Amino acid sequence: MDTASNTKLGNVNDLPVGDMHAVKMGDREILLIRLDTGIYAMDNFCTHGACTLANGKLEGGTLRCLCHGSEFNVKTGEVVNGPATTPQPTFAVVLKNGEISLAP
């Protein structure tokens, strides 16, 4: 059985800088986001109202949920602008031979 640490979530070559996509991991959905500084991972469902952040708008290091406009720092999950008040859960990404997984 896969664990968070060895579940491969994709290849870095399939995620260009400025792009993002959601992957299923168990009963969660993880949103992988590639910035020019690296690859970041956060829960795909907005803490405000559970909208899918994969449908959001990436603006530099900020991701805006299109449902009500909450903005989150991609690296830290911090709320940059409400109405959300709860940060997005984020996960440390491990890159090994180009394969993306989450740190244990």
Binding site for ligand FES (CB under 6 A): 46, 48-49, 51, 65, 67-70, 83-84
Question: CA-CA distance, 89 to 53, in Å (whole number)?
Answer: 12
Nearer to ligand FES, 34 or 43 (CB): 43
What would the 3-class secondary structure string for 47-90 be?
A: CCCCCEHHHCEEECCEEECCCCCCEEECCCCCEEECCCCCCCCE
Question: CA-CA distance, 97 to 78, in Å (whole number)?
Answer: 30
Nearer to ligand FES, 65 or 100 (CB): 65
**Distance of closest approach, residue 51 Cβ to ligand FES, in angstroms:** 4
**Distance of closest approach, residue 50 Cβ to ligand FES, in angstroms:** 6
Nearer to ligand FES, 18 or 49 (CB): 49
Provide φ and ψ at 54, rounded to 5°.
-60, -20
**Distance of closest approach, residue 71 Cβ to ligand FES, in angstroms:** 9
